[in-house]
């Protein structure tokens, strides 16, 4: 969705399913970050008009001038799970334990370097323990079932300890094990609130 928006100026939710990936922050259709960028660049009235159009029509298109402003600030590409795994493995082989979000950034950095006018910043906001099964598979080539097993594989392979805070959480008893059906969320919240 983000790549389409930045390259074409079209935000199109019609017949677009969410596709689960190893970078779940990317698995969204209606991005609040895009709304913030629109507000910052084009103001409240234009943002409201575009977002209402998205709500009503599941689509909007920037005009050519707006698209030029966006493209002057941003470049975009996408990263498959396989590409992300390769970036994580390469980084690890060079001494850096990378998460899938950061791997996506590096893939886009590599594909966007032909645009010399753009300054590029890659920063990592995710911590490796959050994505342990994905990272364990990237490092070993093997599927590791479960977060705890994956954490142990990574800790051993990288020769790093599992952070104390994470270890402490994993040793706590499970107190919330109920699953609430979508149709019963309101009822469950009201019951919880008493």
CA 193 to chain centre: 32
Q: What is the pLDDT of residue 117?
A: 59
Cβ-Cβ contacts under 8 Å for 18 (sequence gap 6 or more):
27, 28, 29
Low-confidence stretches of the chain (pLDDT < 70) are 24-27, 113-118
- Distance between CA atoms of residues 89 and 154, nearest Å: 12
- What predicted TM-score, i.e. pTM, was given to this entire model? 0.73
How far is the C-alpha of 33 from the C-alpha of 61, rounded, in Å? Answer: 17
pLDDT at 114: 66
- pLDDT attached to residue 187: 94
What residue ranges do the domains of the chain occupy? 2-73, 81-170
H helices within the chain, ranges in order? 2-8, 32-57, 64-73, 81-93, 100-112, 132-140, 147-158, 164-170, 185-193
pLDDT value at residue 21: 73
> For residues 78 and 13, what is the distance between their CA atoms, to the nearest angstrom?
17
């Amino acid at each position: 969705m983000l790549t389409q928006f930045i390259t074409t100026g079209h935000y199109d939710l019609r017949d677009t399913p969410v596709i689960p990936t190893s970078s779940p922050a990317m698995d969204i259709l209606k991005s609040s970050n895009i709304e913030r960028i629109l507000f910052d660049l084009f103001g409240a009235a234009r943002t409201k008009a575009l977002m209402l159009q998205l709500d009503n029509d599941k689509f909007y298109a920037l005009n050519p001038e707006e698209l030029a402003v966006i493209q002057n600030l941003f470049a975009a590409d996408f990263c498959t799970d396989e590409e992300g795994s390769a970036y994580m493995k390469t980084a690890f082989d060079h001494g850096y334990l990378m998460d899938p979000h950061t791997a996506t950034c590096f893939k886009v950095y590599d594909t966007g370097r032909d645009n010399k006018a753009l300054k590029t910043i890659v920063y990592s906001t995710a911590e490796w323990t959050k994505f342990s099964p994905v990272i364990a598979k990237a490092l070993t080539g093997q599927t590791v079932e479960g977060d705890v097993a994956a954490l142990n594989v990574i800790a051993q392979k990288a020769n790093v300890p599992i952070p104390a805070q994470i270890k402490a959480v994993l040793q706590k008893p499970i107190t919330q094990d109920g699953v609430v059906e979508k149709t019963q969320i309101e009822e469950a919240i009201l019951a919880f609130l008493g």
